[in-house]
Amino acid sequence: MRRLVPAGALLVCLSGCVITPMAPTTADTRAGEPVETAREEGDRMGVEPGVLKGRVVGADGRPVQGAKIVADNQLLYNSNLIVSTDADGRYRVETDIAATFHVTASMTVEHNGASYQVDLSPDDDSSFAGPTGAIRDFTWKLTGEKADGLGHYGGSVLFHLDMTDPRNPEAFLEDERVELTLTPESTLLDGSQGQVITRRAVRTPDGSGLVDVPIARYRVSASYEGRPLQVRLRGQEAYAAEIVADFSQYISSVYWIQLELKL
């Protein structure tokens, strides 16, 4: 007889989400065969008629508890099915009605005293017929293009550049020649350690700067063709060689840092 091995103690990451280590595969002492994990058992069962199910994991593969799964009934207005993931990151809901569904997932993360609404990345973004059932797994990604192609999972660091060059009043500075350096002053949203980011600015529909930056608290500095720039948060008075900044919400799950720069 096979038996399931318990996953062990819960771990709480710095962002406030609850994660559990993956259940190890060990040998059954009686049969001498590998123990089937809960996920393997679920995969073996496959799609069940009239049932939507799946799992949410972080980028490291560990399960995420408390993620909100929304099955959008595309036939009836405001009749969505909403369920949360359990301690193993799993969810299950009955969809045995004559309608098609599109599934999305999100979660709220507390980090550095602020709340962030995070969209989760689906392994399959297609709709399905309720009576047929489906499996829709999601991953908590800190960066990358969103499944619908509308934006990224990371935030944007945008700036307004004073185009005046004190050395040459007749010249105009160009946004694309600005280089930003972001040094993490906190962990990333999922509690992992971030890396220093140094990149040239690009132009976007929302302004010039960097896109798809993992959300965290950063120490920000900037330069123009090797010349240091003065930095401040947009709307503040004092410039400095560097500042510490957090992301703020722009709309929904879109976050940015807005800067002003000058030589």
Contact 219, 183 (CB under 8 A): yes
Two tokens, residue 48: 């069940």
Mean pLDDT of the chain: 86
pLDDT score recorded for residue 186: 97
pLDDT bracket for residue 140 (50, 70, 90): very high
pLDDT bracket for residue 78 (50, 70, 90): confident
Contact 177, 229 (CB under 8 A): no
Say what the pTM is: 0.80
Which pLDDT tens digit goes with each residue over 172-226? 999 999 999 999 999 999 999 999 999 999 999 999 999 999 999 999 999 999 9
Q: Of all residues in the chain, what percent carry a pLDDT higher than 90?
A: 75
Q: What would the mean pLDDT of 56-77 be, rounded to a whole number?
A: 94
Q: Which residue(s) pair with 71 in the sheet? A: 81, 103
Hunting for tokens 């002492």 — which residue is that? Answer: 29
Which pLDDT tens digit goes with each residue over 233-260? 998 889 999 999 999 999 888 999 999 9
Q: How many CB atoms lie within 10 A of CB 252?
A: 10
pLDDT bracket for residue 40 (50, 70, 90): very low
Rounded to whole angstroms, the Cα distance separating 141 from 58 reads 7
Alpha carbons within 13 angstroms on the beta-carbon side of residue 138 total 31
Is 41's pLDDT higher than 60?
A: no
Residue with the larger pLDDT of the pair 100 and 41: 100
Rounded to whole angstroms, the Cα distance separating 54 from 133 reads 11
